[in-house]
Amino acid sequence: MPHPATLTSNGPTIAEVDLNAFQENVRTLKGFIENSRFMAVIKTNAYGHGVVPVGRAAVRAGADCLGVTMVEEGAQLRASGIDVPIHILSSIMSWQAADAVAYDLTSSVSSLDLTNALSREAVRQEKNHPVHLKIDTGLHRFGIQPEEAIEFCRDVYDLPGLDWEGIYTHFSSADEGKWVRTEEQFALFMETIAKLNAHGYDFPIRHAGASTITIERKDMHLDMVRPGVALFGYPPEHRQENMISLKPVMSLKSRLLHVHELPPNTPVGYGGSYVTSDNEKIAVVPIGHGDGYHRALSNNGEMLVGGRRAPIIGEVSLDQTLIDVTAVPDVRAGDEVVLMGNQEADSISARDVSDWMGSIVDEVLAGLKERVERIYK
Ligand SMILES: *Cc1c(COP(=O)(O)O)cnc(C)c1O
């Protein structure tokens, strides 16, 4: 007998992505800007939500352009028919210049090698390739040092095939609310632009701010803002929760694979790090650190079953996590489990999960592996 070409059923663990909530978040964030452009940053597979469906939704909701960090993501978006500007917010290898030009992406430049390669490719492909000069004001990841900006422009500004459309920087400590440091970086950025302008090097679109700046600092919006994580329903920091009302976009759900009762003093899971103190009902949830459900949640975190909180017990393993469902009436295999999202009157947010892990929302959302099926609403 030949095997069937496709499966006839799906597994129980799914991530629901609410594109209406996403679009509402785009509109809410756009309400914070006045005359600036709006880049929807959808890098890292749209923080785990799926770069193509989210990219389409962003454009429909009024984003002027999209931001990614990989040429591959830009190519995927182009292949799906998206025609707004797509910025690569990272340096890339020089050998990727041909693809960046061919897919009409907008490149970040801060090295001679890459800038030369982009110019050569643009000429070869008979295109005018848009570039944004990246200035390093203190994050020290990549970018031209402010004192070297003029010399750099002297070398590359007149290269053929390049359109010097913009200039930008990325702050190191805005989320942490270190405003003195951020204001110093902003001042350095503005000073660098003024010097470049004085030498005849112009950059029409100046931009610096991500989610935090979009929400908290209108004075730093300049010509464009670049929010990322906030689009997905979470301002970067707790303090911003009463400054803006956003809707979580992703819910993470599964079903109980198995429920059993254990007597008191039974070690549970790898290493027996949890020991029952009474007769306890233990359930198996088919998700683990192989799905991006972090080991830091071992004996530390909760899920919702039957509208009640069920604590995670024992070590999170590659494919399974155990929870204590003793307090859930009539619990049985097949019951819905909510790991993020609403169930009856209660809800668990990606922020709760990140707090349990001692991490940030970005890691919880973007860390969810591809094998967890995304269902779009
Ligand atoms: C990731 C990133 C953003 C978006 O940051 P959020 O804090 O998620 O809003 C903006 N700009 C650059 C350069 C980035 O790398």
Residue nearest to atom 4 of ligand 1 (CA): 228
Burial 110-119 (b: 16+ CB within 10 A, else e): bbeebbbbbb
Concatenate the DSSP letters of all residues of 184-213 into one string: HHHHHHHHHHHHHHHTT---SEEEEE-HHH
Q: How much distance in Å is there from the Cα of 225 to the middle of ligand 1?
A: 10
Q: What single-letter amino acid sits at 283?
A: A
Exactly one of 103, 127, 195, 270 is catalytic; which is it? 270
Positions of the chain with pLDDT lower than 50, given as ranges: none
CATH topology of domain 19-236: TIM Barrel (3.20.20)
Question: Is 141 assigned a ligand-binding role in the annotation?
Answer: yes
Taking the domains of the chain in order of start, what are their residue ranges?
Answer: 19-236, 250-376
Give 143-146's long-range contacts (Cβ < 8 A, gap of 24+). Answer: 143/110, 143/169, 143/170, 144/110, 146/188, 146/189, 146/191, 146/192
121/204 Cα distance (integer angstroms): 23
How far from 277 is each of 118, 270, 324, CA to CA, in Å? Answer: 65, 17, 11
Q: Does the active-site annotation cover 270?
A: yes
Task: Name the residue of 32, 41, 137 whose CB sits within 8 Å of the most ligand 1 atoms, as the mutation to test its pocket.
Answer: 41
Residue 255: what pLDDT? 98
Q: What is the DSSP string of 3-63?
A: PPSS-SS--S-EEEE-HHHHHHHHHHHHTT-SS-EEEEE-HHHHHTT-HHHHHHHHHHTT-
Whether residue 281 lies in the annotated active site = no
pLDDT number for residue 232? 98
The pLDDT assigned to 256 comes to 98
The pLDDT score that the predictor gives to residue 1 is 80
Q: Which atom of ligand 1 is nearest to the CA of 231?
A: 9
Q: Ligand 1 centre and the CA of 226: distance in Å?
A: 6
CATH code for 250-376?
A: 2.40.37.10
Given the residues 43, 134, 253, 281, the one annotated as active site: 43
